[in-house]
Amino acid sequence: MSFALGVLPVVLLLLGFPIFIVLLASVSVALVFFMHMPLAALHQNMFGSINAFALLAIPFFVYAGELMGRGSVAQRLVDFVQAGVGSVRGSLAVTTVGTSAIFGAISGVSAACVATIGRIMYPAMRRAGYPEHFAAGLVTAVGAIDIIIPPSIPMIVYGAAAEESVPRLYAAGVVPGLMLSLMLAGYVMWFARRNSIGAGEAFKFDHFLRATARGVWALGMPFIILGGIYGGIFSPTEAAAVACVYAAFVTRFIFRELGWRDIVEAASVTVLFSAQILIIVACAGVFSWLLTVNQVPAAIVAWLQSLNISAWTFLLTVNVILLAVGCFLDPLSAILLLTPLLVPLVKAFGIDTVHFGIVVTVNLAIGLFHPPFGMNIFVAQSVLGLELRAIYRGIIPFLVIYLIALVLITYIPAISLGGMRFLLGVN
Amino acid sequence: MVTRILDRLIWWIERLLAYAFIAAVGLNFINVIGRYGFGQTILSADELQIYIMVFMTFLGAAVVAWRNHHLRMDVVVNALPLPLRRLVRMAELAVIVILTAFVLWNSAYYAEQMFTIGRVSDMARVPMWIPHGAVAVGFGLIALIGCLRFVQALTGRPLGVGKFGTET
């Protein structure tokens, strides 16, 4: 059995087989050769994993982001943040951070953030005299905030895998996301001051009002999503569907930038992206069921308890594993593969599963731009035509900032849980 | 010939799924408006949306397979020498065909059982063999795509490009 559930998936994963096939191979071999169970369990569990209303939030949020990402929404957000930032030293870099944070509250797909914001901000920063490696590193790294600030697709997937509430996870992601944004903004301001990079235009209230008026429809999206969920009006899935209709309405009728064909095209892109994820969700559901039936998590818990390690050490180990995994695997696949194994251990150590969900998300967010294989590195390379060397060099200081934030978020649960309790109004 | 037929079929599936997905968004939105505006909801809407997602998952997986976009960790295999990489690719295609054919058989049997007993969903009264059949159809298509690619790889024929610009 350890061959089917341990050796086989690792070997196939390393050989580059599609992840859903890796999981399917593992469960099929276990069911056919090692277990005496009806084979119908394979179909039942696969179908049952997808037969969940909460999972609809994934394609809905992707679609809303896809619609808002087309046209001038990003430019309007940039103008709004830039007008608000005013003459702060390093205003363009601060605008990049601020716009990405707001974009994160609209989209939830990190690569889209890097491509959309990067296309606007990278040339602007270069024209303003920012070094190539700094601008490249910033636009590549800042997109990772997107999956920490709600709505976050990885949090929905974690919620499904760990049987944890998505609104609680979203509420817990707000403060870590904002904290990271402030840390990044602080660093870029310090960098600009040290390198005497020019400040922006002085703050002008009428200019700010104009930019706000242009951006107000785009800024309305986070209010609908988060206000709807925490106002008790919608479930996350309903908030996502309302966000889709809002995005289609704004881009079609207010901005007049998308035609019906674009709206269908965006749906088509969403279907393909969602299918990539959901087929893994389906197969991971069977894999997770097999692990539970064979008492694998319980055996690992017992083994760890026999080692007498502390929760502190456990979290450190998990962080190292997740950072390593995040360098090679996309966040959603990593969550689906590891959550069924890790969550029973987390519970055994008395760690809050919401707090752990945020730790997992931040770890995998770092993996998105961690050299050498972080996905956002290649997005920045292809969209902005940058050299890998410049990106790698530029990423390092931002990587350090993210790692400091990760340590704080891991060992100070109040950063995530405090925000959650405040937003949900619970003790 | 087979490539062309599959390419057109996949294109149609992708379009249909896109429209079905838009319908799911619409259904959800109508339910929200109905609940707050008129105090009424379409009871079957949740079920219908879930079944659309089931179709998106399994038929969508076939579209993703056709586009060669399934998520994988290819760092290690890309570092292998070309002949070894080809060998791994052949092994992968063989495993894909065997496994997806196994799921096809398994799911088709399950869907047939649903059809035989005439099971329908609780609210929307959708015959349950339809959503369960989507699993079989999706994996069946992936098996077909796998077979086609395996034969192409075996005969050393260059990979074709379909009418709709699809890498095959």
| pLDDT averages per 10-residue partition of chain A, 427 residues | 84 91 93 88 92 89 86 84 85 92 83 84 89 93 91 90 91 94 95 84 85 87 84 87 93 91 95 92 88 83 82 90 81 85 90 95 91 82 81 94 96 93 79
At B160 the pLDDT is 43
Residues of A in contact with B96 (CB under 8 A): 18, 21
Cross-chain residue pair B135–A60, CB shorter than 8 Å = no
Residues of A in contact with B102 (CB under 8 A): 28
Beta strand extents in B28-115 (DSSP E only): none
Cross-chain residue pair A25–B73, CB shorter than 8 Å = no
At B115 the pLDDT is 96
**Packing angle, helices A353-367 and A331-348, rounded to 10:** 150
B38/A contact by beta carbon, under 8 A: no
Residues of B in contact with A261 (CB under 8 A): none
Digit-coded pLDDT (tens) for A21-31? 999 999 999 99
Mutation target among B35, B49, B51, B64 for the A interface, most CBs of A within 10 A: B64
Q: Predicted confidence band at B140 (pLDDT cuts at 50, 70, 90)? A: very high
Residues A323 and A366: beta-carbon distance below 8 Å: yes
Q: How far is the alpha carbon of B1 from chain A, nearest alpha carbon, in Å?
A: 25
Residues of A in contact with B88 (CB under 8 A): 15-16
Residues A20 and B146: beta-carbon distance below 8 Å: no
B127: helix, strand or coil: strand
Q: Quote the CA–CA distance of A242 and A263 in Å, as a whole number.
A: 15
At B167 the pLDDT is 41
Cross-chain residue pair B76–A245, CB shorter than 8 Å = no
Q: What is the DSSP letter of B158?
A: P
Digit-coded pLDDT (tens) for B66-124? 999 888 887 788 889 989 999 999 999 999 999 999 999 999 999 999 999 999 999 99
Cross-chain residue pair B95–A17, CB shorter than 8 Å = yes
Report which of A239, A195, A66, A175 is spatially closest to residue B29, judged by C-alpha positions: A239
pTM value?
Answer: 0.86
Residues A370 and A327: beta-carbon distance below 8 Å: yes
| Out of B70, B77, B135, closest to residue A15 by CB | B77
Residues A51 and B47: beta-carbon distance below 8 Å: no
Q: Quote the CA–CA distance of B22 and A269 in Å, as a whole number.
A: 12
B61/A contact by beta carbon, under 8 A: yes
Report which of B89, B66, B83, B77 is spatially closest to residue B13, judged by C-alpha positions: B66
Cross-chain residue pair B64–A272, CB shorter than 8 Å = yes
B72: helix, strand or coil: strand
Digit-coded pLDDT (tens) for A6-54? 889 889 988 999 999 999 999 999 999 988 888 889 999 999 989 888 8
| Out of B63, B91, B132, closest to residue A272 by CB | B63
Cross-chain residue pair B70–A276, CB shorter than 8 Å = yes
A18: helix, strand or coil: strand
For B54, name the nearest residue in chain A, comparing CA atoms only. Answer: A50
Residues of B in contact with A281 (CB under 8 A): 57
Q: Predicted confidence band at B143 (pLDDT cuts at 50, 70, 90)? A: very high
Residues B70 and B147: beta-carbon distance below 8 Å: no
| Out of A63, A234, A271, closest to residue B32 by CB | A234
Mutation target among B22, B27, B76, B86 for the A interface, most CBs of A within 10 A: B22
Does ipTM top 0.90?
Answer: yes
Does residue B142 register a pLDDT over 90?
yes
Q: Predicted confidence band at B164 (pLDDT cuts at 50, 70, 90)? A: very low
Residues B166 and B1: beta-carbon distance below 8 Å: no
Listed by number, the residues of chain B in 102-121 with a beta carbon closer than 8 Å to a beta carbon of chain A are: 102-103, 106-107, 109-110
Q: Predicted confidence band at B21 (pLDDT cuts at 50, 70, 90)? A: very high
Positive or negative: CA dihedral B32, B33, B37, B40: negative
At A119 the pLDDT is 85
B39: helix, strand or coil: coil
Q: How far is the alpha carbon of B115 from chain A, nearest alpha carbon, in Å?
A: 15
Q: Predicted confidence band at B163 (pLDDT cuts at 50, 70, 90)? A: very low
CA distances from A239 to A56, A106, A232, A244, B38 (A): 11, 12, 10, 9, 19
Q: Quote the CA–CA distance of B62 and B47 in Å, as a whole number.
A: 23
